[in-house]
Chain A
Amino acid sequence: MNRLRHRLAVCRAVAFVTYKEWSAYRTHSLVSAFVGPVYFIVQYFIWTAVYGSSSTFGGMELEQTIRYFGVSALIGYLTMDFADWNLQMLVRTGKFLIFALRPVHHRFFALSQKIGHRILGFFFEFLPCFFVFMLLFRIDIVPAYTGWTLLSVALTFLMQFYVNYCIGMTAFYFVQARGIRTVYMLLASVFSGALIPISFFPGALQRVMMFLPFQYTNYITAMVWTGSDSIGELGLSIPQAVLCQAIAAAVTALLSEVLYRASIRRFTAVGA
């Protein structure tokens, strides 16, 4: 119990310091209040043109698709992560040594940092865009099932972190892991559902996606948020989809621990 209390205290302290540190750059976050709506406007015109010839597309109506893209942007603000970039930078420069010597696991430290960073994101990215989407664009952005949505967002938050941390650990092997990060970001941009809902892809591909991490970092949560009662090719209900997400997050967390134990032996602290 004491150990848990201590870890919570560490998490709170790191999150608070990160929040304060990034508050100095709060205009970074406010950029989203412009960028998010502009991307949304582009999506609006694209899909309005595409739906011009048919009322439904990929099993979704125009209104649902527009809502999906608004929600997708908001999920991004709540769960955005750069643990991969940070870790590979620390390994490449040799600065990881500082963290290796501390009595706190670096992964836990990084997760606490992310919590602080995203609390800032909540105030300076999520809330402005939420109100722009709701009041200016008049889209129904309120979650259909608040409890399931919160749980799903939390799982996406963890999933993104653990996946990115695994990607960052490739720096222990390649030193400069920019290429691998690019590969992942490229695949994630398409298969997470950020560019296009997964339900628009062929059925066979959707089934394969169930075993890949991408859709658990955006698509599932966006569908849970919009209250879809039949998610993807398998027609998952919301509880089933969230359960799949929880399993995926647990597996990825386990994988990150296995990878960490294997990777840390390769750390030379020299940098490159």
Chain B
Amino acid sequence: MRYIKIYFTCLRIAFSQAAAYRADFLLGNIMSLLSNILFPLVTVVIYANGASFPGWSMWQVLLIQSVFAMSTGLSSMVTQGVMWATMDHIREGSFETVLLKPLPPLFYLTAVNFSTGSLGLFIGGLVMTVVSAVKSCTSAAGVPAFMVLFLAGAAVLCGLDLIMAAISFKWVGNSRIPEIFDSISEFGKYPAGIFPKAVKVLTAFIIPVASVGFFPASALLGEVEGYMLIAVIPCLVFLAFGIWIYHIMIKRYEGVGG
């Protein structure tokens, strides 16, 4: 109960901080919204030129990408700030200020680094998901499976954020760590059928980025398969691994900056 109270206090402060730069906050969020319209432009252009991803309509592919954006927005709000804050503290050698707080470090960083700037991304993704789902003629029957797979996908992204934050304890000051994981997560934005079998297995069970966009979208389209639901397990394992490795790496903190 105490932690929930602290978390919501931090949320209120985050929105107050955003209000200090109102124009930037509004513009940033509007841009996040627009990015949801512009990002899938590649897909729109492909279909507008008469080509296609075999077996997929334009709205079905857009559904995958919209769900991916929504999931990214959710994880960005919750854990992406942890990654950047951890990197900054380690580079500056100021992580002690976190360790001295009377709260578990990971909880503290999660609470104080709620990212209001990703709200637009989440809302934009949600709107695009609803529009794409309606245009793809999805049925309500797939919603429960979608919810499970969507949360599993968000867990993967949160796990990735925490793994990146953990890496920064050793790889000090490398702001390009997220690019490594962003590049891998690209595989989750497209129908899995276009990739070879090895990539499909890798993205379903080892680094389960297919759960971020492709699996939840398939559930909405009523095309969920057994292995997709099984893939929820590696997603949760992935998040647990992120939390575990973060705590392990805290012990390796040297306090010298870099």
* Chain A interface (Cβ < 8 Å from any Cβ of B): 25, 27-28, 31, 34-35, 38-39, 42, 45-46, 48-54, 57-58, 174-180, 182-183, 186-187, 189-190, 195-196, 200-202
B23 touches A179 (CB 8 A): yes
B179 touches A45 (CB 8 A): no
**23 A/B residue pairs, CB under 8 Å, sorted by A:** A28-B175, A31-B174, A31-B179, A31-B180, A35-B182, A38-B184, A45-B195, A45-B199, A46-B194, A48-B194, A50-B46, A57-B49, A58-B49, A174-B23, A176-B21, A178-B28, A179-B23, A179-B27, A179-B28, A179-B30, A187-B38, A196-B45, A202-B48
Given contacts A28-B175, A38-B186, A39-B183, contact A50 B53 (CB under 8 A): yes
Tell yes or no: B138 within 8 A of A by CB: no
Q: Is there an interface contact between B27 and A34, defined as CB atoms closer than 8 Å?
A: no
Q: How far is the CA of A28 from the CA of B183 in the complex (A)?
A: 15
Residue on A nearest B51 in the bound complex, by CB: A50
A178 to B23, CA, bound (A): 10
Q: Considering only CB atoms, which chain B residue lies closest to A27 in the complex?
A: B174
CB distance from A61 to the nearest CB of B (A): 13
Residues B187 and A42 in contact, CB atoms below 8 Å apart? yes
A39 contacts which chain B residues (CB < 8 A)?
183, 186
Residues of the A chain whose Cβ atoms lie less than 8 Å from the Cβ of B21: 175-176
Contacts of B45 in A (CB 8 A): 196, 200-201
Task: Report which B residues bind A (CB closer than 8 A).
Answer: 21, 23-24, 26-28, 30-32, 34-35, 38, 41-42, 45-46, 48-54, 171, 173-177, 179-180, 182-184, 186-187, 190, 193-196, 199
> Is B49 in contact with A200, judged by CB distance below 8 angstroms?
yes
Secondary structure class of chain A's binding surface, majority of residues: helix
A230 to B97, CA, bound (A): 60
Question: Are the CB atoms of A190 and B194 closer together than 8 Å?
Answer: no
A182–B46 Cα gap in the complex (Å)?
Answer: 25
Residues of A within 8 A of B174 (CB): 25, 27-28, 31
- Tell whether A45 pairs with B186 under 8 Å between CB atoms, given A57-B51, A182-B28: no
Closest B residue, CB atoms, query A29: B176
User: Given A27-B171, A31-B179, A49-B194, do A179 and B49 touch, yes or no (CB 8 Å)?
Assistant: no
Neighbouring B residues of A27 by C-beta, 8 Å: 171, 174
With A49-B194, A200-B45 in contact, is A34–B54 under 8 Å at CB?
A: no
From B38, B45, B196, residue with most partner A Cβ within 10 Å? B45
Interface centre among A42, A57, A186 (most CB of B within 10 A): A42
Extra pairs beyond A42-B190, A186-B35, A201-B45 (20, CB < 8 Å): A25-B173, A31-B177, A34-B180, A35-B179, A38-B183, A39-B183, A45-B194, A45-B199, A49-B54, A51-B51, A53-B52, A53-B54, A54-B51, A176-B21, A182-B28, A186-B31, A186-B38, A189-B38, A195-B42, A200-B46
Nearest neighbor of B117 in chain A, beta-carbon distance: A178
C-alpha spacing A202/B48, complex, angstroms: 9
Provided the pairs A25-B173, A38-B183, A39-B183 are in contact, do residues A182 and B31 lie with their beta carbons within 8 angstroms?
yes
CB B14 to nearest CB in A, in angstroms, measures 16
Shortest 7 CB-CB distances between A and B: which pairs?
A179-B27, A49-B194, A38-B183, A31-B176, A182-B31, A42-B186, A176-B24
A35: B residues at CB distance < 8 A: 176, 179-180, 182-183
Measured in the bound complex, the distance between the Cα atoms of B183 and A218 in whole Å is 20
Question: Which residue of B has the minimal Cβ distance to A58?
Answer: B49
C-alpha gap A48/B196 in the complex (Å): 12
Output the least CB separation between A194 and chain B (Å): 10
Cα–Cα distance between A189 and B190 once the two chains are bound (Å): 18
Chain B contacts of A38 at CB under 8 A? 183-184, 186
